[in-house]
Amino acid sequence: MKLTATLAAVSQADPGPTQADRVFYSATRGGALSVSLELEVGQIDVGFRADLVLIDLTDPS
């Protein structure tokens, strides 16, 4: 994800919109669309599968 976000600067040198949210979208809802599971995964919402990842915010690494 980080590499995709940072390589965008190489594929187009002009400064553009922030990449973090675009790439996060790609790895979640975009990916779900691509595999035809957009009504099941990729979002935290009513009716979606609870495929959740918990990231430890107290871990400094």
The dihedral through the CA atoms of 61, 27, 25, 13 has a sign that is positive
Instruction: State residue 29 phi and psi, 5-degree precision.
Output: -70, -40
**Pair 29, 37: CB distance under 8 Å:** no
Say whether residue 49 binds other proteins (CB under 8 A): yes
Nearer to other proteins, 47 or 61 (CB): 61
Total site size for other proteins, rule CB under 8 A: 40
Rounded to a whole number of angstroms, the minimum distance from the CB of residue 46 to other proteins is 11
- Residues ≥6 apart with Cβ < 8 Å to 29: 38, 42, 43
Say whether residue 18 binds other proteins (CB under 8 A): no
Q: List residues near other proteins by CB under 8 A.
A: 1-4, 7-8, 10-12, 16, 22-24, 26-37, 41-44, 48-49, 51-58, 61
